[in-house]
Amino acid sequence: MSAAGIYVHIPFCRSKCRYCDFVSVCASDGKQKRYIDALVREIYTGRKIFDGEADTLYIGGGTPSCLFEGAVKRIADAVGETFGGGIKEFTVECNPDSFDDKKAAELKAAGVTRISLGVQSFDDNILKALGRRHDSSQAKDAIRRAVGFGFDVSADLMLGLAGQDERDIDAFVSFVSEAGVEHVSAYMLKVEEGTPLALDVKNGLVLPGDDDCAALYDHAAKRLSDNGYVRYETSNFCKDGKRCLHNTKYWTMCDYLAFGVAAHGKTGKKRYYNGSDTDGYIKSVNDGTHVYETEEILSDEEELKEYVMLGLRLDDGVDVREVERRFGIDFSIYFEKGLKKAARYVVFDGEKLAIRPEYALVANSIINMFV
C-alpha cells in the first residue's frame, strides 16, 4: 500500500475575496484557538481511520498563514505523533498579505517544506477588483521571501479575469521564473454562485469569453513552457520535476486523510466529508459526538471511472496496465466506445491513455466520452 497524504483545512481568512466561495470566514483569535484545539483532537484520533504510513501533509484553506503564532506547529506535532515522522512534503497555503519574515521563520521552524502562495495577478487594478488584500509589490516580496527562506514555492495564477491580457501573464511568468519559483498553478476564474463576483457579473461586469479564456490559457501554457515549466496536470506546471506530491495523490487515487471542517478524505473505497459548519465541528469534536457529514463506499465501477477521469487530467495520462491490474478489466474492451469517440483527441498505445496537449483545455468534454 502506498503512503497516504494528509489534508488539514483552515476555515479562516482576514477578509473574503470577491470571487471565492471556499469555506472560510474572518474570525477572532479566540475562535481560531478553539478550532485548532478541536482540530488537533481530531488528528490524534486519526489512527482509528487509517493505520498505514503518511508522507505528505497539506494545510490549506482559507488562509493558514493568518493563523495565530504556534498553530501550524501544533498541527505538525499532532500529525507527527499520530502518523510518525515520515512526512517528506509539508505544504502550507499562504496569502502574501500574511507572510512576513516572522511567519516564514515560524513555518520553517515547524518543518514546512513548501509554500503555496496566492498571487493571482501582477496587475494592481485587477487585484483590487478581486478584493485581494495585497498589491503586486507585496506579492513579489512574499515570493522572494519564500524562496529566500529555502522553501519549495508554488504560485497561484488566475486566468480569465476582467481586464486581464497577455501582458499580465508575461509579467507573472517572467517574475516567478527568475525568482526561483518551481511550481505554478494556473486556475481559470470560476464565477461561483452567491459570491460578490457573481453579483457583479449579473450587474453587467464583462469577463473574457470562452475563446479569450482559451487564448489566455494557451498563452500562459506557452510562456510557462518557454521558461522551463512542464505541465503535468491541466492546471499545474513545474520545473525540475517539482510536482506537488500531495495533489498527485488525489489525481492517482491514493489514500488521503482529511481533518478539519470542509475537508474531504478517502481511505480504500471509503470517501468522507467533514461538513462545513465550523461551530458544529468544534462542539462535536469536544463532546465526542463528531461524525462525518457524508460517507460513501465507492463501487468498483465508480472507482474505475474516477481513476480514469482523474488520470486523463494528467499529462502522463492513465497507466493502462495499472488500471487492468487494479480493476481486473481489459482496458481496450471496457473503454472501447470511449476510445473510438475520442480517438483524435487522445494518445493510446496500450500502455498509456493521455489527452493530446493541444486539447488540455477541453479535457472535461473528452473525459465525458469515457465516463
Ligand X SMILES: C[S@@+](CC[C@H](N)C(=O)[O-])C[C@H]1O[C@@H](n2cnc3c(N)ncnc32)[C@H](O)[C@@H]1O
- Which run of H or of E encompasses 184? strand 183-188
Q: Count residues near ligand X (CB under 6 A).
A: 17
| Cβ contacts of 346 within 8 Å, gap of 6 or more | 312, 339, 353, 354, 355, 356, 366
> Which residues, 172 to 211, sit near ligand X by CB under 6 A?
187, 189-190, 192
Asked whether 92 and 65 are in contact (CB, 8 A), the reply is yes
Residue 216 binds ligand X, judged by CB under 6 A: no
- Which run of H or of E encompasses 60? strand 54-61
- Round to whole Å and give the CA distance between 12 and 32: 8
Residue 120 binds ligand X, judged by CB under 6 A: yes
Q: Which one of ligand X, ligand SF4, none interacts with residue 16, CB within 5 to 8 A by kind? A: ligand SF4
> Which residues, 41 to 100, sit near ligand X by CB under 6 A?
60-61, 63, 93, 95
In whole angstroms, the minimum distance from the beta carbon of 164 to ligand SF4 comes to: 16
User: Is the Cβ of residue 95 or residue 274 nearer to ligand X in the bound state?
Assistant: 95
3-state DSSP assignment of residue 38 = helix
User: Is the Cβ of residue 56 or residue 95 nearer to ligand SF4 in the bound state?
Assistant: 95
Q: Which one of ligand SF4, ligand X, none interacts with residue 192, CB within 5 to 8 A by kind? A: ligand X
3-state DSSP assignment of residue 164 = coil
**Which residues sit at the interface with ligand SF4, rule CB under 6 A?**
13, 16-17, 20, 22, 24, 61-63, 95, 118
| Cβ contacts of 248 within 8 Å, gap of 6 or more | none
CB atoms within 10 A of CB 340: 9
Nearest CA to 152 out of 246, 11, 250 is that of: 246
Residue nearest to ligand X (CB): 118
In whole angstroms, the minimum distance from the beta carbon of 188 to ligand X comes to: 6
In whole angstroms, the minimum distance from the beta carbon of 165 to ligand X comes to: 18
User: Is the Cβ of residue 146 or residue 308 nearer to ligand X in the bound state?
Assistant: 146
3-state DSSP assignment of residue 259 = strand
Q: Interface with ligand X by CB under 6 A: which residues? A: 13, 19-20, 22, 60-61, 63, 93, 95, 118, 120, 156, 158, 187, 189-190, 192
